[in-house]
Structure 1
């Protein structure tokens, strides 16, 4: 895909991977609409992007709600006069033992990490088809490939998003809309600020800018997926497929320390 002149909507675009992706796409000549729930943070992101020469509109909305999704798409189409790329990036997490995570937090994760991307994509499909060269980019997670203890609901939602994207890609084949799934690893973003797990527990962080560069390269190449984490992640994915009990044993040795390190990890 040639990005110059394209129009993109990025949910959760005011910080972290979403903002870094907005900046990277803006540098390629993409006109943007970005969403966020926090007015001040969104305004700061829009100002920073505009200073860099990007054409961008900010939309204050919660895409986990029906009204928020309606506002998002209405305002984006009004500003961009169409849509070529939808980046489903907005997400939330609450780590902890399943029986200790509240029902409210479980439903919130499912709403923003799984239901929102499905429903927003459903509504956006006619305009993406009209583009003639549309693309949906779903930001899943490395935990959607290899489940980790204390992230049961989050991993389930992100794995669900990945399979949604795979199925939808095949459903839309030959219709002018491609679907790309992205699996970031631990990324140095505000969403990770309350997680104190380090490399010794499998959380080696990389910059949001590095993830964004890989996303943009994946869009340009019309790739099927972008998996971050390098050789170590690739080896874990292979081992999880071939010998999942070995991964079970590895997590068993780390479990007590991991539980302590992620017990306050919350961004909803």
Structure 2
């Protein structure tokens, strides 16, 4: 896949994986709409995009709001080409399900799953047009938790698994249209989103994750496992014998709960 001179949208572009992806596309000549909740962080990304060789516009928008997809679509309505959509924005609230508020549950579902579905729907006509001409890309940032659902992350796991299934279905729906749909499964990554949890999980540098993503896209991959190599054995065991994973996790549940109880980005 040729990633040069893309024109498109990156959500959650103010920090972490979203920002790093924006900069990699910028280095290849991209023009991007940077979407996020904070003007300050988006401006920082915009400055970095320019320094990297790209150009950008900014849209301050909470994608969890009901009209967010329409606002994004309106912001790029005049663009001649839209051949990139990066559905990256997400949030998390860990802990026992019964201790989560309804607002926290809804916030995860709205941002992690409903928003990318509605945003893809709103932009799909333009992505199809660009796909038929020169190929376009929908990039969904799921999570390793879609491969191994972790205790105390029930809703987050549900949203990220849902996003992965959405990508798989859309890949098949769009077969032959020139719209490439790819799903990324990062594991624990050294981002601000991970700063409030203390589990003993290896955190990969953002640069390593994004390099793997871009390399996978160039190779035409649709499923990009960007988790730490040390976790692949557990993923394989979960696919083959999930009850064995249950048994392996059971002795450490109390420690895990204590380590992640303050993990929140909402």
Same fold, TM-score > 0.5, yes or no: yes
Is the aligned partner of 1:30 residue 2:30? yes
What CA distance in whole angstroms lies between the structure 2 residues aligned with 1:261 and 1:134?
41
Structure 1 segment 145-164 matched on structure 2, within 5 A: 145-164=147-166
Question: Alpha-carbon deviation of 1:4?
Answer: 1.6
**Could you say what secondary structure the match of 2:82 adopts?**
coil
Alignment correspondent of 1:168:
170
Alignment correspondent of 1:225:
223
Is the aligned partner of 1:258 residue 2:260? no
Alignment correspondent of 1:4:
4
What's the CA shift string for 1:15-43, capped at 9, x where partnerless? Answer: 00000111111112222111110111111
1:61–1:69 CA contact under 8 A, matched in 2: no
Alignment correspondent of 1:100:
99
Alignment correspondent of 2:187:
185
Q: TM-score, normalised by structure 1?
A: 0.94
What CA distance in whole angstroms lies between the structure 1 residues aligned with 2:50 and 2:194?
26
Q: TM-score, normalised by structure 2?
A: 0.95
Q: How well do the aligned residues superpose, as a CA RMSD in angstroms?
A: 1.3
Structure 2 gaps of 5+ residues are none
Structure 1 segment 1-268 matched on structure 2, within 5 A: 1-78=1-78, 80-132=79-131, 133-198=135-200, 203-268=201-266
What's the CA shift string for 1:223-268, capped at 9, x where partnerless? Answer: 1111123432221111002121221122112211110110000012
1:3–1:29 CA contact under 8 A, matched in 2: no
What CA distance in whole angstroms lies between the structure 2 residues aligned with 1:71 and 1:265?
30
Aligned residues: 263
2:189–2:203 CA contact under 8 A, matched in 1: yes
Structure 1 gaps of 5+ residues are none
Cα distance change, pair 146–130 in 1 and its aligned pair in 2 (3 A): same
4+ residue segments displaced more than 3 Å:
none
1:98–1:150 CA contact under 8 A, matched in 2: yes
